[in-house]
Amino acid sequence: MSVAEPTRSTTALRKDAVGVVGILFFVLSAQAPLTGIVGAAALAVALGNGAGAPGAYLVVGLVIILFAVGFTTITRYVDSVGGFSALIRAGLGVSMARAGSWLALITYNTIQAAMYGLFGATASGLISRYLHVDVAWWAIVLATVALVYAFGCRNIEVGARVMAVLVSAEVAILLAFAIGVIVRGSAPHGFDLAASFGPQAITAGAPGIAVLFAIASMFGFESTAIYAGEAREPQRTVPRATYLSVSLIAVFFAFIMWVLISYYGASGAQGAALDTLATDPGNFVLVPISSVLGGWAADLTSVLLCTSLLAGLLAFHNIVNRYLHSMAEHDELPRQLSRTNRHQAPAVAAAVQSLTVVLVMAWFMIGDKNPVATLFGWLSGTAVAALVVLYVLVSVSIIRYFRAHRVHSNAWSTVAAPAASVVLMLGELFIIVRNFQTLTGGSATTCDVLLWSVPAVTLLGWLVSTAFRRRAGAGAVEVAVETAA
């Protein structure tokens, strides 16, 4: 895969390129609303707390907002261009930041690879159904990798516009369904808020499973910080985009889930979800859409599921590129990875990241693995576990940073909220590990290998980065601290 050489060698990303709305669409693309609903709704309802699943989404949203309090506060004082690694460096030091960088690479590479598997399988099925042509899932993935790479090498504004269109389309079809249910009164047993949002409903059954899938569905909001170097007024833009994305996605998911519960009826939703697990869990969402809006809407939703995944692939591709770019600038990886092209996009990092995806796909393709049951199931679960560990590290770093730098006097945002976040995130991590087999669908041995691979690869990466750092002869990276005026 060739990389377009810039006329002049540079490592600078494009400044003042995106505002709140642009970053918001990057985040919403990473969260892939339609994919989250179609992929997780049946599992959360069937295996979790039944009609109380919408409440679980709100609870997870509140926990993430609690994390965001400290997260957005520290971004006012620390240059967050390096994403989580920059924030970890500020409070826990360079060594932990290197580990955090690799943990982030594991997180975003695995979720992107997982989404490629689901995208390839979904697109292959659609082509076979409508065009009567059989195309292997991996062939579609390879073509899509090239397309995503091309977008990754363009101006960041181009990606933002594409994602805005794709995300708007998937949100529109879900809202049309919700409005149809409410206006036509399709709910057989009426609308019951208490059945989904009351304390007894939320804690019924196995709420941990519902929380598990809610966490997986809200993946990606933290990527706001990685775009700080390309944002207009980042000290204002990043916090606003963070709070907006978390609030919108939590409320949106909870609302759509509640409409689905209302469609089936609180007493019948869990049974209906269980029935779809035996055939296709996506039908828990697609059948109601077809019933309320017509068969055309279900067909359109299947197509939009592909575009939803494509938007997510673009978003995570951009995130990984910027982590590689930042690590190279800190001499933790080869300096060539920090080079940008004439569009001021990290083109070398984009090429390396795309080749990494191809290698992962090759392993699953040669092993004749099912792209949904293995590639998507195994790697998406691994990514969620790694991400929650990152949340914990960042929260601890926030507390340490503000204890050492008395630049912000609000104890709520510098101590209380981050401390509560650590406790709650550790609770979520316990739920994930305890139910990891349910999340991934793998055997007990496979789950052990996947879970232990996270610290193993992180340690290996830390050793690699340390070696590069020593070879470069660089000292410790100094954290730039700006005191707000």
Which amino acid appears at position 423 of this protein? V
Per-residue confidence (pLDDT) for residue 377, from 0 to 100: 83
Closest by CA to 381, choosing from 434, 318, 459, is 434
pLDDT in tens, 27-74: 788 778 898 898 888 888 988 889 999 999 999 999 999 999 999 899
pLDDT in tens, 334-358: 888 888 888 788 889 999 999 999 9
Dist. CA 335–CA 340, nearest whole Å: 11
Q: Is the pLDDT of residue 327 over 60?
A: yes
Per-residue confidence (pLDDT) for residue 58, from 0 to 100: 92
HEC string of the chain equals CCCCCCCCCECCCCCCCECHHHHHHHHHHHHCHHHHHHHHHHHHHHHHHHHHHHHHHHHHHHHHHHHHHHHHHHCCCECCCCCHHHHHHHHHCHHHHHHHHHHHHHHHHHHHHHHHHHHHHHHHHHHHHHHCCCCCHHHHHHHHHHHHHHHHCCCHHHHHHHHHHHHHHHHHHHHHHHHHHHHHCCCCCCCCCHHHHCHHHHCCCCHHHHHHHHHHHCCCHHHHHHHHHHECCHHHHHHHHHHHHHHHHHHHHHHHHHHHHHHHCCCCHHHHHHHHHCCCCCHHHHHHHHHHHCHHHHHHHHHHHHHHHHHHHHHHHHHHHHHHHHHHHCCCCCHHHHCECCCCCCHHHHHHHHHHHHHHHHHHHHCCCCHHHHHHHHHHHHHHHHHHHHHHHHHHHHHHHHHHCCCCCCHHHHHHHHHHHHHHHHHHHHHHHHCHHHHHCCCHHHHHHHHHHHHHHHHHHHHHHHHHHHHHCCCCCCCCECCCC
Q: Which two tokens stand for residue 241?
A: 């985009």
Per-residue confidence (pLDDT) for residue 376, from 0 to 100: 85
Beta bridge partners of 18: 231
60 phi/psi in degrees, rounded to 5: -65, -40
476 or 88: whose pLDDT is higher?
88
For the entire predicted model, the pTM comes to 0.85
- Answer yes or no: are the C-beta atoms of 255 and 174 closer than 8 Å: no
Per-residue confidence (pLDDT) for residue 476, from 0 to 100: 45
Question: What share of the chain in percent tops pLDDT 90?
Answer: 33
Average of per-residue pLDDT across 101-107: 91
Domains of the chain: 20-472 (1.20.1740.10)
- Answer yes or no: are the C-beta atoms of 51 and 439 closer than 8 Å: no
Q: Is the pLDDT of residue 172 over 90?
A: yes
Beta bridge partners of 78: 481
Q: Is the pLDDT of residue 480 over 50?
A: no
Per-residue confidence (pLDDT) for residue 211, from 0 to 100: 86
pLDDT in tens, 413-467: 999 999 999 999 999 899 888 888 887 887 889 899 999 999 998 998 889 888 8
Beta bridge partners of 10: 340
Length of the chain: 485
Q: Is the pLDDT of residue 240 over 90?
A: no
Per-residue confidence (pLDDT) for residue 3, from 0 to 100: 44
Average of per-residue pLDDT across 312-336: 87
Q: Is the pLDDT of residue 401 over 90?
A: yes
Q: Is the pLDDT of residue 332 over 90?
A: no
Question: What share of the chain in percent tops pLDDT 70?
Answer: 90
Average of per-residue pLDDT across 236-265: 89
Lowest mean pLDDT among 39-53, 150-164, 255-269, 329-343: 150-164
Closest by CA to 351, choosing from 378, 374, 328, 367, is 328
- Answer yes or no: are the C-beta atoms of 324 and 356 closer than 8 Å: no
Per-residue confidence (pLDDT) for residue 479, from 0 to 100: 42
Q: Is the pLDDT of residue 8 over 60?
A: no
Q: Report the mean per-residue pLDDT for the chain.
A: 84
Residue with tokens 């939320």: 202
